[in-house]
Chain A
Amino acid sequence: DAKTTQPTSMDCAEGRAANLPCNHSTISGNEYVYWYRQIHSQGPQYIIHGLKNNETNEMASLIITEDRKSSTLILPHATLRDTAVYYCIVRPRANAGGTSYGKLTFGQGTILTVHP
Chain B
Amino acid sequence: GAVVSQHPSWVICKSGTSVKIECRSLDFQATTMFWYRQFPKQSLMLMATSNEGSKATYEQGVEKDKFLINHASLTLSTLTVTSAHPEDSSFYICSALADYISYEQYFGPGTRLTVT
Contacts and interface: CB of A to CB of B under 8 A. Distances in A.
Interface of A: 38, 41-46, 87, 94, 99, 101-109
Interface SS, A side = loop
B32 to A, nearest CB: 5
A105 B46 contact: yes
A102 B44 contact: no
A46 B105 contact: yes
A87 B95 CA distance: 16
Closest 9 CB pairs of A and B: A43-B107, A106-B44, A94-B103, A106-B43, A44-B107, A102-B97, A43-B110, A43-B93, A43-B109
Nearest to B10: A41
B32 A101 contact: yes
B34 A42 contact: no
B44 A44 contact: yes
A41 B112 contact: yes
Contacts of A99: 49, 57
B91 interface: yes
A42 B104 contact: no
Contacts of B49: 99, 102-103
B94 to A, nearest CB: 8
A105 B45 CA distance: 8
Given A103-B49, A105-B46, A44 B99 contact: no
